[in-house]
């Protein structure tokens, strides 16, 4: 069977499974909708958390960015993995013991203020919409290639699917759907990685094949060969970094603390019965996440090597079928600048950007000899095709990419809908609303959120990993200081927390608008203008520090929180059962 038929079969089977689970586990109450009734087992919650965490950015874009950036791309690997450890150790158990549905719920109650809750809702919506834009673009990329539709149509199809099971099942439906999605995405990521590792190095373990010797009889190691290919084409050595140390530190830290402030991941720890179950599910999720994260660098190296050898300096008329099919999506574009009929793949941008900041494929960049544009988000999806793996493996990767993007999109939609229905309507606008009315409001909010997410998926401000990295920066700038101080510093008051969150989120937004989107200038400012040499993806670290400084300074000059709030903070830090043991 051809790739198209296999794709229809595998994607059809997996989607039928997801929708069936959503119908089976549909939410009947607000507790079901927000936290799956609070009765999910640690294993199921660990698998669901791993699926929620491993978004399109992890599955599709992380290996893609590493394959292009080489050593520099490792910041995403370090930041996202380290951030999850931080979340599991520092925040998850305490937030679970606090016992609220959402992050704005925690901030509203901990800082005894409706204003704090409103600011938190604003931040949660901003983070979630920025994050979900990356997921929707990931969905569009998968559909555009494998269902042979354009990216915009792919985004719309993804919107309809995720809307169905998120609105029907709420957190209960999403949790059990994500368990299935984890199984699909990890199988889809590992199978081609193992195939290609055997093909290139003779080692079935991709992590070992990554540092292993090629089995072509040359006696050369994979990374040495990739370094040679890269420098030969004018790129930097694959294993050498070009980013400054301060930027690497800033991006890594922003991704780490941003992880610990991500509302859609934090809410997963409210779905288990006990505090110790939150710890267990965090540990299980980390083990499941590590499988993909340690494999991604190998996939990146395999894909980059195969792509260069397949297309560089090859006659255009003889390129393989996968190249022509990806050309149809405009994620691979060739322009014959010297009219010799061969593909010159060299360092430099093949095309110029238009006024809208997007590549203009009618405007070749004549300042260099590179004739090929390759979108980095295709590397994982095209990898099995480039390596000439069986058609069912190619289709399996499509199903895995969709599982990764849709699982995270569903979690984010739930955060958006619960922020509006629970934190805004129930807690502030109309406290007397019935449970049925709140459930209707949550579902209507999810519908509105899907439409906004779809728009950003069609008009994203960058490739998937970059968009998602900005969401982490926003979470680091706003939530992390408020949550960490709220748990570990009982003197922290509402005035300090509100001022800190506002300063953090506004500074991150302004930096992002100026240096990532170019809103305040005729053209996008040069890297030399970055503050302290820190990129927009890393500025969340500076914004977070500003948040901490402002929060603590304002707190020093304002009155302490009420005693009952300080008692709650004291209580959530005491392990369950410790009080009873002391009394006995």
CATH code of the domain in which 420 resides: 1.20.1730.10
The dihedrals phi and psi of 349, each to the nearest 5 degrees, come to -80, 130
Which of 19-28, 178-187, 296-305, 512-521 shows the lowest per-residue confidence on average (mean pLDDT)? 19-28
The pLDDT value given to residue 465: 54
Specify whether 362 is located in the same domain as 397.
Answer: no
In whole numbers, what is the pLDDT of the chain averaged over residues?
A: 82
The pLDDT value given to residue 584: 45
Which of 251-265, 389-403, 510-524 shows the lowest per-residue confidence on average (mean pLDDT)? 510-524
What is the band of 576 on the pLDDT scale with cuts at 50, 70, 90?
Answer: low
The pLDDT value given to residue 356: 62
What is the band of 580 on the pLDDT scale with cuts at 50, 70, 90?
Answer: very low
Q: Does residue 173 surpass a pLDDT of 80?
A: no
The pLDDT value given to residue 437: 85
Yes or no: say if 97 and 269 are a contact pair by the CB < 8 Å rule: no
Domain that holds residue 348: 332-374
What's the rounded Cα separation, in Å, for the pair 26 and 178? Answer: 14
Kindly report, residue by residue over 526-574, the tens digit of the pLDDT: 777 888 889 888 999 999 999 999 999 999 999 999 999 898 888 877 7
Q: Where in 181-324 does DSSP place strands (E)? A: none
Q: Which of 343, 374, 405 is the last residue of a domain?
A: 374
What's the rounded Cα separation, in Å, for the pair 259 and 186? Answer: 21
Specify whether 343 is located in the same domain as 439.
Answer: no
How many helices and strands in the chain, by DSSP H and E?
24, 4
Yes or no: say if 374 and 323 are a contact pair by the CB < 8 Å rule: no
Kindly report, residue by residue over 83-137, the tens digit of the pLDDT: 878 877 777 778 777 776 677 888 888 998 889 999 988 888 888 777 777 777 7
Q: Does residue 427 surpass a pLDDT of 50?
A: yes
What's the rounded Cα separation, in Å, for the pair 379 and 388? Answer: 14
Kindly report, residue by residue over 484-504, the tens digit of the pLDDT: 999 999 899 999 999 999 999
Higher pLDDT, residue 22 or 299 = 299
Q: Which of 374, 403, 432 is the last residue of a domain?
A: 374
Kindly report, residue by residue over 464-480, the tens digit of the pLDDT: 555 677 788 888 999 89
Specify whether 351 is located in the same domain as 446.
Answer: no
Q: Quick one: which of 174, 144, 179, 175 has its CA closest to 161?
A: 174
Evaluate whether residue 464 is within a structural domain.
Answer: yes
Q: Which of 319, 351, 374 is the last residue of a domain?
A: 374
> What number is the average pLDDT over the span 302-306?
92
Q: What is the DSSP string of 183-222?
A: HHHHHHHHHHHHHHHHHHHS-S-HHHHHTSB-SSSS--BH
Specify whether 354 is located in the same domain as 419.
Answer: no
Specify whether 30 is located in the same domain as 86.
Answer: yes
Evaluate whether residue 312 is within a structural domain.
Answer: no
Q: Quick one: which of 322, 387, 383 has its CA closest to 3?
A: 322
Kindly report, residue by residue over 339-392, the tens digit of the pLDDT: 888 999 988 888 987 766 677 888 888 888 898 998 888 888 888 988 888 888
Evaluate whether residue 315 is within a structural domain.
Answer: no
Specify whether 369 is located in the same domain as 387.
Answer: no
Specify whether 367 is located in the same domain as 395.
Answer: no
Which stretch of DSSP H or E encloses residue 443? Answer: helix 435-458
Specify whether 481 is located in the same domain as 516.
Answer: yes
Yes or no: say if 43 and 213 are a contact pair by the CB < 8 Å rule: no
Q: How many domains does the chain have?
A: 2
Q: Quick one: which of 496, 503, 548 has its CA closest to 116?
A: 496
Evaluate whether residue 448 is within a structural domain.
Answer: yes
Yes or no: say if 10 and 396 are a contact pair by the CB < 8 Å rule: yes
Specify whether 41 is located in the same domain as 159.
Answer: yes
Higher pLDDT, residue 349 or 17 = 349
Yes or no: say if 129 and 61 are a contact pair by the CB < 8 Å rule: no
Percent share of the chain, pLDDT over 90: 18
Specify whether 359 is located in the same domain as 489.
Answer: no
Yes or no: say if 447 and 514 are a contact pair by the CB < 8 Å rule: no
Evaluate whether residue 417 is within a structural domain.
Answer: yes
Specify whether 366 is located in the same domain as 394.
Answer: no
Count of C-beta atoms within a 10 Å radius of residue 269: 26
The dihedrals phi and psi of 307, each to the nearest 5 degrees, come to -65, -45
Evaluate whether residue 318 is within a structural domain.
Answer: no
Specify whether 224 is located in the same domain as 358.
Answer: no
Evaluate whether residue 324 is within a structural domain.
Answer: no
Evaluate whether residue 326 is within a structural domain.
Answer: no
Kindly report, residue by residue over 64-76, the tens digit of the pLDDT: 888 888 888 888 8
What is the band of 275 on the pLDDT scale with cuts at 50, 70, 90?
Answer: confident
């Amino acid at each position: 069977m051809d790739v198209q038929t296999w794709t229809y079969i595998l994607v059809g089977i997996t989607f039928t499974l997801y929708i069936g689970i959503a119908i089976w586990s549909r939410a009947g109450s607000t507790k079901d909708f927000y936290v799956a009734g609070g009765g999910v087992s640690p294993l199921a919650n660990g698998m669901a958390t791993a699926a929620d965490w491993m978004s399109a950015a992890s599955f599709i874009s992380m290996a893609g960015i590493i394959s292009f950036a080489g050593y520099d791309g490792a910041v995403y690997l370090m930041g996202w993995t380290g951030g999850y450890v931080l979340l599991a150790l520092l925040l998850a158990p305490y937030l679970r013991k606090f016992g609220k549905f959402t992050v704005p719920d925690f901030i509203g109650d901990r800082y005894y203020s409706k204003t704090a809750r409103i600011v938190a809702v604003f931040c949660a919506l901003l983070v979630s919409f920025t994050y979900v834009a990356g997921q929707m673009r990931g969905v569009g990329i998968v559909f555009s290639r494998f269902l042979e539709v354009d990216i915009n149509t792919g985004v719309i199809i993804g919107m309809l699917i995720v809307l169905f099971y998120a609105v029907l099942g709420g957190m209960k439906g999403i949790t059990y759907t994500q368990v299935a999605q984890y199984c699909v995405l990890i199988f889809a990521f590992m199978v081609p990685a193992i195939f290609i590792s055997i093909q290139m190095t003779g080692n079935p373990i991709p992590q070992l094949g990554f540092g292993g010797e090629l089995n072509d009889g040359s006696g050369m190691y994979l990374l040495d060969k990739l370094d040679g290919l890269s420098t030969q084409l004018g790129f930097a050595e694959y294993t050498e970094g070009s980013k400054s140390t301060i930027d690497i530190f800033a991006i890594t830290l922003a991704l780490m603390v941003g992880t610990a402030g991500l509302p859609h991941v934090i809410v997963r720890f409210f779905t288990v019965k006990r505090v110790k179950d939150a710890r267990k599910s965090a540990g299980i999720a980390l083990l499941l996440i590590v499988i993909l994260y340690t494999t991604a660098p190998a996939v990146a190296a395999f894909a980059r090597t195969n792509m260069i050898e397949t297309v560089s300096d090859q006659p255009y008329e003889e390129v393989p079928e996968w190249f022509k099919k990806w050309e149809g999506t405009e994620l691979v574009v060739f322009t014959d600048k010297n009219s010799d009929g061969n593909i010159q793949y060299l360092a430099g941008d093949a095309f110029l950007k238009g006024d809208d900041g997007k590549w203009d494929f009618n405007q070749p960049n004549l300042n260099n000899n590179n004739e090929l544009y390759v979108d980095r988000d295709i590397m994982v999806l095209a990898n099995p095709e480039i390596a000439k793996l069986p058609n069912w493996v190619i289709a399996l990767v499509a199903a895995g990419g969709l599982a990764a993007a849709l699982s995270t999109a569903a979690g984010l939609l739930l955060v958006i809908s619960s922020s509006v229905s629970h934190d805004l309507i129930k807690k502030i606008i109309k406290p007397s609303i019935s449970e049925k009315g709140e459930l209707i409001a949550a579902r209507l909010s999810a519908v509105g959120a899907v439409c906004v997410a779809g728009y950003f998926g069609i008009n994203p401000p960058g490739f998937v990993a970059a968009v998602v990295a900005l969401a982490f920066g926003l979470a680091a700038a706003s939530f992390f200081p408020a949550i960490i101080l709220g748990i570990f510093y009982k003197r922290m008051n509402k005035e300090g927390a509100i001022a800190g969150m506002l300063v953090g989120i506004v500074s991150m937004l302004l930096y992002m608008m100026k240096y990532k989107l170019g809103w305040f200038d005729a053209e996008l400012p040069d890297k030399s203008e970055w503050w302290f040499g820190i990129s927009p993806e890393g500025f969340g670290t500076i914004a977070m520090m500003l948040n901490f400084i402002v929060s603590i300074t304002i707190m020093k000059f304002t009155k302490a929180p009420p005693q009952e709030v300080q008692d709650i903070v004291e209580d959530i830090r005491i392990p369950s059962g410790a009080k009873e043991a002391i009394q006995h």
